[in-house]
């Protein structure tokens, strides 16, 4: 099995590095998920997001990737960005590769859900009207 590629970064996510981490000649399917900052939420305009993480968040995301790799036997990778993000920025990029597309799609969906629920990252939304609020606290 490949080593665990899981990161928390304040820099723009290197999507090519995420893809490369799971690419292999025996894999006929490579599925990527891009979680992108959108311009609205709940009927309100969003101007930007601010992500903050626990100091050990990278350990948590690595555990999610390692656990899912062990469970599925597939190649997986994930990077979550923290700091101030603008509309259109990638907040989370994850990838899964497998011999066939079905197992890659299933693995990426499960990995992303685990990251959203298990990795201690908090989001503050800045709305277009100047109001801001923390999400999921």
Mean pLDDT, rounded, for 75-102: 98
Query: Residue 41: how many CB atoms within 10 A of its CB?
Result: 14
Mean pLDDT, rounded, for 67-84: 98
- From the number of C-beta atoms within 10 Å of its C-beta (0-12, 13-18, 19+), residue 58 rates as middle
Q: Considering the chain, what is the average pLDDT of its residues?
A: 96
Percent of the chain with pLDDT over 70: 98
What per-residue confidence (pLDDT) applies to 120?
97
Structural domain that includes position 114: 5-135
CATH number where 117 lies: 3.90.1170.40
**Residue 2: band (very low, low, confident or very high) from pLDDT cuts 50, 70, 90:** low
Q: Cα–Cα distance between 49 and 8 in angstroms, integer?
A: 16
Q: What tokens appear for 67 in the block? A: 């656990």
Number of H helices, E strands in the chain: 3, 9
For the chain, the domain total comes to: 1
**Residue 135: band (very low, low, confident or very high) from pLDDT cuts 50, 70, 90:** confident
What per-residue confidence (pLDDT) applies to 3?
87
Q: Cα–Cα distance between 82 and 132 in angstroms, integer?
A: 17
**Residue 1: band (very low, low, confident or very high) from pLDDT cuts 50, 70, 90:** low
Mean pLDDT, rounded, for 90-105: 98
């Amino acid at each position: 099995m490949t080593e665990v590629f899981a990161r928390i970064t304040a820099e723009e996510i290197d999507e090519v590095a995420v893809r490369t981490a799971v690419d292999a000649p025996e894999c006929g399917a490579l599925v990527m998920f891009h979680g992108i900052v959108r311009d609205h939420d709940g009927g309100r305009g969003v101007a930007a997001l601010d992500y903050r993480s626990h100091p050990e968040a990278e350990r948590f995301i690595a555990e999610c990737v390692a656990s899912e790799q062990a469970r599925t036997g597939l190649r997986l990778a994930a990077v979550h960005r923290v700091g101030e993000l603008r509309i259109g920025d990638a907040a989370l990029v994850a990838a899964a590769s497998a011999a066939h597309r079905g197992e890659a799609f299933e693995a990426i969906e499960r990995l992303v859900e685990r990251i959203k629920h298990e990795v201690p990252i908090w989001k503050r939304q800045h709305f277009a009207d100047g109001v801001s609020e923390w999400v999921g606290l």
